[in-house]
Amino acid sequence: MSYLYFPGCTLKDKAASAMEKTALMAAAELGLPLEEIDEWQCCGAVYPLTEDELITLVSPSRTIFAAKDRPVVTLCSACYHVLKRTRQRLAADKDARDKISSYLEEEYPGETPVLHYLELLRDELGWDALKEKVKMPLEGRRLAAYYGCMLLRPAEEMAFDNPERPRIMEDFLQALGAEVITFPFRTKCCGAYLAVTEKQVMEDASNNIVKMALEYGAEELTTSCPLCRYNLEQTPAVKEGKIKVSFFSEPLAEALNLEVQEVTN
């Protein structure tokens, strides 16, 4: 079966297009075809956190309604967060569901699964099968997973992995043959949208993370969030080339030997 793919606003942009290109190439190689949703709309990047705000739920709800009951797959952590929480809200809150359904003039299609690409690899393909597909194991490469916030929290709604001790990305990097570095701040916030309004606060938050990763011996941090990547890249250690930041699908494409030079920016 093919999966519906929701790219979101940022992956069509120059800096983050590497994630989309490498992930789509790898998906085709791994027999997990992703089909982009027609006329998708931006999810809004943040989930509305007040009980009485429905208008910003409309746009992510359009994606859930359009999917009918087919699973929707995302790459970006923020898209995953917003779509998954919207899905949970629509499933649990009849009043919100009825209002949105009447606004969209569409029947609520039922509980559409929202999946992150990593879940697809873990649950549909499996780490052992991925390992078998690896042509160029990333031997000796000291890679650390950086989760940030959006994939994991709030844990009851996201139900992605253990919020304090996640392992999905470590298992993934291990399947690629890398030497996996697990460091303490991998679930700490990078400063998120403070990049727009409070640059120094964001840089301090990101700096703490990068310094900790370096202390644990990582040479590359890997993430699925374009904003995390941007923020981590504003730190001195990254600017000085002591450590680099990649999208998780870049080492994947590399391990599968998929013409990496052409697709990275």
Partner 1 sequence: MQKQNNAVNKLHSEIMERSGQDFYNCIQCGKCTAGCPVLSAMDLHPREVLLYLQLGQEEKLLSSKTPWICASCFTCGARCIKNLDLSRIMEAIRVKILRPRGAACLSPGEIPKEQLEKLPQQALVSGFRKYTR
| Contact in structure between 104 and 58 (CB atoms under 8 Å) | yes
C-alpha distances in angstroms, 206 versus 22, 25, 141, 223, 231?
25, 30, 22, 13, 6
HSE, side-chain direction, 13 A CA sphere, residue 217: 7
d(CA 64, CA 111) in angstroms, rounded, equals 8
Question: Which of 29, 30, 41, 56 contacts partner 1 by CB under 8 A?
Answer: 56
Question: Which of 1, 107, 140, 196 contacts partner 1 by CB under 8 A?
Answer: 196
Question: Which of 92, 129, 136, 155 contacts partner 1 by CB under 8 A?
Answer: 155
Q: Is 192 in the site for partner 1 (CB under 8 A)?
A: yes
User: For residue 80, what are its two tokens?
Assistant: 């995953």
Question: Which of 70, 97, 99, 188 contacts partner 1 by CB under 8 A?
Answer: 188
Q: Give whichever of 173 and 227 is closer to partner 1, judged by the CB atom.
A: 227
d(CA 151, CA 160) in angstroms, rounded, equals 7
d(CA 216, CA 261) in angstroms, rounded, equals 28
Q: Is 103 in the site for partner 1 (CB under 8 A)?
A: no
- Among 43-51, 98-106, 176-184, 245-253, the segment contacting partner 1 (CB under 8 A): 43-51
d(CA 243, CA 149) in angstroms, rounded, equals 21
**Minimum distance of partner 1 from residue 10's CB (angstroms):** 4
Q: Is 230 in the site for partner 1 (CB under 8 A)?
A: yes
Binding site for partner 1 (CB under 8 A): 8-10, 13, 15-16, 42, 44-46, 48-53, 56, 76, 78, 149, 153-155, 163-164, 188-189, 191-201, 204-205, 208, 225-227, 230
